[in-house]
Structure 1
């Protein structure tokens, strides 16, 4: 089997496992009908969040059995990645805070520190809040989306298109959550401007995470995912204006970072040695 065929089969298998496990679990949560974080609904709800992780495990096991090398665009955790991780976390959080503050200046909902402190207290304290926000989303998903699917997409297309394609897939993957009681998606509603903006917001997030993965591996993608999710919860982004502004800011920041990173790569790529000109044969 050629490298391209292996990449294609790996993508298909990953998507099948990821969607099948997540959507089946969330289907059970929908049938149970209770709030997402309350028993017994919490079990299939959290299980579904690990769909990308299950997909990653299946792909890694198959690769091990077949003794295949890692995809060419896989990023190991470089030592410099440890330095990049806090920077990436701050960048992701800043895009959310920036959008919320601009919305406030334009007449949108105020940004309140008291609301953030209340949320942390209701979550059981800072450690519990961080643990929940880290596990549900960043850790349960990034080893799959960025650590497994992204390198295989990069083998078939450029960084920008890989990020866009993964963003669309990631957005579609979230659809069942609109029907699970107690989720942010359910509160927005699917056929509303807020619901559609949420689905759109996943795409620039995918681009930011792709940049982070290239810089610091899966750890960088986890940092971006956690920084954005946690800040969105703390700021309490529930209205359309801050949602839309955050989407716009994240899109601009992601495109700028990807463009700068691309230019840096081009600048460090040695030019081929000049060749002797010979007549073309026709």
Structure 2
């Protein structure tokens, strides 16, 4: 059951400020790397600092303009594990590994080379290695971004456009926000370049934006759910794909998104449900007119 809520007044009022400040902060930090080429040991910390733009700005706006209730709601949605039903925990943990298990066998059948497990584990040998990798993956996207994208921006966008269009708009903004990283050597974005991999990655960002909204709305607007989902997306991202592999994984993501969108579109809106109930209660036992049936 979806729990899309009306966006607080402070969020609706400051949503443009959120996007403006987020881009200014992140692009200034990343732009400084591109222009001034700092020492190599400073590049990774600066990349991480820029990545925290959405979260830093969201926290600032919530604390500066939010009511006491809005502040409490925000931090509860960040830290509450009980907002997420166990079935949604399973979905969060399994959806992106499932994409790998669907995509790679098809890729292999068509002649593609499936990477070894080391490509995903980073050569983990000890528990310390695993904790370090998990920390990097958690900081480098989920915690840096999700308090902003889903925790702050998604509610007012959904209120304006509904969940599907809001997800697509936010996904496109998300793609644009990453663009400076394509000019910084050593990032995964720079390795993709602006060819087929760029368009496949951009589609993936928009596609998972829809998945994120679906999970967010079904976990009582849980920011923690978005953080965990983002973590799994990072941990289970297909690597070293040629154009054939990019096309296959794009198709898999499209099928999954369609499986979410089609029931979403067909689901009656709350006002339509209320209208149908009102008619049934007013005219018990009488068939609905043809016009009502067409609109129901």
> TM-score w.r.t. structure 1 length?
0.81
Q: Deviations over 1:177-213 (max 9, x none)?
A: 00011011111112x1112222222110111111111
> Which structure 2 residue ranges, 5 or more long, are not aligned?
1-6, 284-296
The match for 2:234 is: 229
Task: Write the distance in 2 (CA, Å) between the matches of 1:123 and 1:22.
Answer: 32
Q: Aligned runs of 1:136-151 on 2, under 5 Å? A: 136-151=140-155
Contact preservation (8 Å) 1:34, 1:181: no
Secondary structure of the residue that 1:81 maps to in structure 2? coil
Contact preservation (8 Å) 2:120, 2:235: no
The match for 1:18 is: 22
Shift of 1:115: 3.7
Question: Cα–Cα, structure 1 residues 255 and 56, in superposed 2: closer, same or farther, change >3 Å?
Answer: farther
Shift of 1:164: 0.5
The match for 1:280 is: none
The match for 2:160 is: 156
Match of 1:39 among 41, 62, 71: 41
Q: Deviations over 1:145-194 (max 9, x none)?
A: 0111110101101111010000110011110000011011111112x111
Task: Write the distance in 1 (CA, Å) between the matches of 2:155 and 2:47.
Answer: 28
> Within the alignment, does 1:62 sit opposite 2:67 as a pair?
no
Question: Cα–Cα, structure 1 residues 69 and 112, in superposed 2: closer, same or farther, change >3 Å?
Answer: closer
Task: Write the distance in 2 (CA, Å) between the matches of 1:15 and 1:202.
Answer: 17
Task: Write the distance in 2 (CA, Å) between the matches of 1:108 and 1:122.
Answer: 31
The match for 1:256 is: 259
> Which structure 1 residue ranges, 5 or more long, are not aligned?
278-282
Q: Aligned runs of 1:119-198 on 2, under 5 Å? A: 119-121=123-125, 125-190=129-194, 192-198=195-201
Task: Write the distance in 1 (CA, Å) between the matches of 2:106 and 2:36.
Answer: 40
RMSD: 3.3
Paired residue total: 267
Task: Write the distance in 2 (CA, Å) between the matches of 1:141 and 1:117.
Answer: 23
